[in-house]
Amino acid sequence: MSTASGRSRRHSHIDAAIRLVRQQGLVDAEVPIEASFLLGGSIAIVVLVTSGDGQQWVVKQVPGSRPSMLTAEAEGLQALGASATVAVPLVHHVGRGSLVMEALGTTLGDSPAFWQRLGEDIAALQASTGAERHGWPHDNWLGGLPQCNTWDADGHRFFAEHRVQRFLAEPKVRQTLSARDLKAVERFCQRLPDLIPPADPVLLHGDLWRDNVLAGPAGRPTLIDPAVWYGWAEVDISMMWLSPRPAASDCFFETWESIVRPEPGWTDRAPLLHVREMLSVLAQFGDENGTAERLRAVLTPFRRA
């Protein structure tokens, strides 16, 4: 792409974001607006729109090949917010390939009180939401890949088929993992009923790691970028446990554990549940930051000589 065409495309995203905010009637016509790009994910274009009277909104735009992605994100935020247990940004508009929502800033909470409150909120979410089966009313997205959510009363089968095996055909996974690795994944799936205790499905954020928890206007932990579904509570916890996080986040786990009182050994189960996230990273980005090596370490007991 030439410099001129790249500049033109950037301007078009800025103009579209400003237009979307004005079309929703979020600011008076005579109030000036400016916009700038935010660091976002690897897929969406994220723009911060600021009005002359100090209001701010985040506008996300995705390529036309993934028009349902932001609709799914808005639906996830609304489902989490409807639980009245966790904070999420207010969604002002969702349309084909665009999403306008409340701006939160980019502050990542790093105090023990922040993480304790998050532990309380996630525990409340898990206690107040549930379903008879694992899944979601329709498919959605995890990052840039479709997430299959076909309902299943069998949580072990659901997790094996739709959260682990579904990644094995992805080209980047095939390029990274050996035939022996793939066989180990299959044996891991077969052993799931012996490894993970049965549990009723609860509403999950689905992509719960530090960068998807921001400090809201009053400092309360606020969840963004969900990939919701009903599943085992420990899936969300395992992702936070094994993703990069500050030392203060230990308060999150202590608080959650004291309220939920999970089956003993959840920290031992966390790497097993995290297989889903490691395969997702391989499928979307390739072997980033030693992901394949960590996955192979977890799969070691499922290898045969």
Q: What is the pLDDT of residue 218?
A: 87
Is residue 120 located within the same domain as residue 43? no
Give pLDDT, residue 305.
Answer: 55
- Residue 136 is assigned to a structural domain of this protein: yes
Look-up of token digits 């079309």: 23
Residue among 247, 249, 243 nearest 271 (CA): 243
Residues 172, 247, single domain; the answer is yes
Same domain, 66 and 150: no
Q: Does residue 8 sit in the same domain as residue 27?
A: yes
Max intra-chain CA distance, the chain? 73
Structural domain includes residue 107:
no
- Residue pair 88/223 in contact (Cβ under 8 Å)? The answer is yes
pLDDT at 226: 98
Q: How many CB atoms lie within 10 A of CB 175?
A: 10
Whether residue 72 is found in the same domain as residue 131: no
Q: Which of 71, 102, 133 is the last residue of a domain?
A: 102
- CATH number at 24 reads 3.30.200.20
**How many independent structural domains does the chain possess?**
2
Q: Specify if 185 maps to a domain.
A: yes
Other beta carbons less than 10 A from residue 32's beta carbon:
9
Cβ neighbours for 5, distance < 8 A, ≥ 6 positions apart: none
- Do 119 and 97 share a structural domain? no
On whether both 193 and 229 belong to a single domain, the answer is yes
139 plus 87 within the same structural domain: no
pLDDT tens digits for the chain (305 residues)? 455 555 566 788 899 999 999 999 999 999 999 999 987 666 889 999 999 999 999 999 987 767 789 999 999 999 999 999 999 999 999 998 899 999 997 677 789 999 999 999 999 999 999 999 999 999 999 999 999 999 999 999 999 999 999 999 999 999 999 999 999 999 999 999 999 999 999 999 999 999 999 999 889 999 999 999 999 999 999 999 999 999 999 999 999 999 999 999 999 999 999 999 999 999 999 998 899 999 999 999 999 85
Q: Out of 67, 102, 137, pick the residue that ends a domain.
A: 102
- Give pTM, 2 decimals: 0.93
Q: Which domain holds residue 46?
A: 3-102
Phi, psi of 142 (to 5 degrees): -120, 105
The sign of the dihedral angle between the CA atoms of 201, 193, 269, 76 is: negative
Whether the Cβ atoms of residue 269 and residue 196 lie closer than 8 Å to each other: yes
Q: Of the candidates 79, 102, 125, which is a domain's last residue?
A: 102
Helix axes 112-128, 250-260, angle to 10 degrees: 30
Same domain? 123 vs 94: no
Q: Which of 166, 154, 124 is nearest to 284 (CA)?
A: 166
Using alpha carbons only, give the angle 280, 282, 287 rounded to the nearest 5 degrees: 150
Query: Do residues 30 and 73 both lie within one domain?
Result: yes
Residue 172 and residue 212 in one domain: yes
